[in-house]
């Protein structure tokens, strides 16, 4: 890239906390950010050089956006693929390109993509009728909507024994009768983990993790790095993330979430073509955070080290948890981050705290 750093402008589609933290990382490198979001109260607006408040299908606004920036990225996977295709059509450089977005927006496409690369997932089946429950024969299962599910929304778990009597299941089918569904075998995992990989145009990559992730009510509660995963598990997780990144010639950041089974097998669960909540600790515990790697990768810059200089535990502040903020502020090893959201609604990620310890 020939543009001088000080005059570079990065456009980000989406205005949530991930966009906010990428914009803050960009500012540290002297790169300006323009946020494009349809949400008036976007947390990323507060820290950006400029903001465009418009819908993702507003072509005039997208044109204006394209004219103002050197390169475009996005901060969450539910940006319409058509928006990215339109921006590319009018000459914008968008990273990561739409392929990963397309795959990660649909759980069936995502599982098929992983399995085609030889990456093991939970056993699954497209769910077209209740007959599929018997045919698949999974004793315990989870049914999920294929699109727009996050933090456990749009999913239900049940078992073959109760599938004819379960009222919750009946009402789930009723609510989602117009949605595509996927049936997954429920995995008896010992742990959940994630790996974050950044890769740039030159093919350099940097990997964080695997991180140990602990969920409460399907929402990430705590992330711990380092942890006691075996050398085999670590190598396998890195190998899978690298394989996906190289296969799609990733430019940007990709997160892979996994289940670890009792027998040591690791199953990929989800892909996110972006930075991830399980990587927030990298802001305080690494010289170069996941957000800075994101900015560097999409702006054509060299990547930095993903080495941690401290051990870290990240705690999400969800809903009313944010009320404990004063206590955290008094702790010597606590790095407090708030996203500037007004209402502490139930399940809403308001901020996070990273507790640092000396590197073990
Ligand atoms: P997801 O939306 O697929 O990330 O699922 C949210 C959470 O539900 C995961 O973090 C797991 O704790 C749980 N979960 C999802 N799919 C499965 C599965 N096939 N087996 C067991 N637990 C699952």
Model confidence pLDDT, tens digit, residues 46-86: 999 999 999 999 999 999 999 999 999 999 998 999 999 99
pTM over 0.75: yes
Q: Which residues, at least 6 apart from 213, have a Cβ–Cβ distance to it below 8 Å?
A: 192, 193, 194, 220, 222, 223, 257, 278
Cβ(73)–Cβ(23) below 8 Å: no
Say which residue the tokens 């006691």 belong to. Answer: 228
> Quick one: which atom of ligand 1 is closest to the CA of 186?
20
- 97, HSE (Cβ side, Cα atoms, 13 Å): 11
Query: Looking at the domain covering 7-94, what would its CATH class be?
Result: alpha beta
| Domain boundaries along the sequence of the chain | 7-94, 123-185, 189-358
Q: Which residues, at least 6 apart from 186, have a Cβ–Cβ distance to it below 8 Å?
A: 122, 138, 140, 141, 142, 157
> Quick one: which atom of ligand 1 is closest to the CA of 220?
10
Q: What does the pLDDT look like over 196-246, one tens digit per residue? A: 999 999 999 999 999 999 999 889 999 999 999 999 999 999 999 999 999
Q: Which residues, at least 6 apart from 337, have a Cβ–Cβ distance to it below 8 Å?
A: 21, 280, 283, 351, 352, 353, 354
Whole-number CA gyration radius for the chain: 20
- The residues lining ligand 1, judged by C-beta closer than 6 Å to any ligand atom, are 122, 142, 149, 152, 184, 186-187, 192, 215, 218, 269-270
The confidence band for 6, taking pLDDT boundaries of 50, 70 and 90, is low
Helices (H), the chain: 17-28, 59-68, 81-89, 98-104, 107-116, 131-136, 167-175, 231-247, 282-285, 290-298, 325-329
CATH 2.130.10 at 123-185, yes or no: no
CATH topology of domain 189-358: D-amino Acid Aminotransferase; Chain A, domain 1 (3.30.470)
Q: Which residues, at least 6 apart from 88, have a Cβ–Cβ distance to it below 8 Å?
A: 94, 97, 98
Mutate to test the pocket of ligand 1, among 259, 260, 270 (most ligand atoms within 8 A of CB): 259
Q: Is 303 helix (H, G, I), strand (E, B) or coil?
A: coil
The confidence band for 5, taking pLDDT boundaries of 50, 70 and 90, is low
């Amino acid at each position: 890239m020939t543009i001088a750093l000080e005059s570079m402008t990065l456009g980000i589609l989406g205005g949530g906390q991930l966009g906010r933290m990428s914009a803050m990382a960009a500012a540290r490198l002297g790169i300006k950010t323009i946020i494009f979001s349809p949400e008036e109260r976007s947390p990323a607006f507060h820290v950006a050089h400029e903001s465009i408040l418009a819908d993702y299908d507003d072509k005039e606004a997208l044109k204006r956006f394209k004219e103002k920036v050197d390169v475009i990225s996005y901060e969450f996977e539910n940006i319409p693929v058509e928006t990215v295709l339109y921006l590319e059509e009018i000459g914008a450089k968008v990273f990561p390109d739409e392929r990963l977005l397309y795959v990660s927006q649909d759980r069936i496409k995502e599982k098929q993509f992983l399995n085609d690369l030889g990456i093991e997932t939970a056993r699954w089946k497209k769910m077209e009728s209740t007959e599929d429950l018997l045919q698949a024969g999974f004793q315990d299962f989870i049914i999920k909507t294929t699109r727009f599910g996050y933090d456990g929304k749009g999913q239900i778990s049940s078992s073959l024994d109760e599938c004819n009597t379960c009222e919750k299941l009946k009402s789930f089918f009723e609510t989602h009768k117009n949605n595509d569904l996927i049936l997954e075998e429920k995995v008896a995992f010992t742990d959940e983990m994630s790996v974050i990989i950044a890769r740039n145009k030159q093919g350099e990559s940097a990997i964080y993790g695997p991180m140990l992730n602990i969920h409460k009510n399907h929402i990430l509660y705590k992330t711990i790095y380092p942890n006691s995963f075996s050398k085999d598990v670590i190598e396998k997780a890195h190998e899978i993330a690298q394989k996906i990144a190289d296969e799609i010639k990733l430019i940007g950041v990709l997160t892979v979430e996994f289940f670890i089974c009792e027998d040591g097998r690791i199953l990929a669960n989800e892909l996110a073509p972006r930075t991830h909540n399980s990587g927030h600790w990298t802001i305080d515990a690494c010289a170069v955070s996941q957000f800075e790697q994101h900015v560097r990768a999409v702006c054509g810059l060299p990547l930095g080290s993903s080495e941690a200089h401290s051990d870290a535990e990240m705690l999400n502040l969800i809903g009313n948890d944010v009320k404990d903020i004063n206590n955290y502020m008094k702790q010597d090893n606590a790095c407090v981050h708030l996203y500037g959201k007004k209402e502490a609604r139930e399940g809403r990620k308001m901020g996070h705290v990273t507790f640092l310890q000396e590197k073990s």
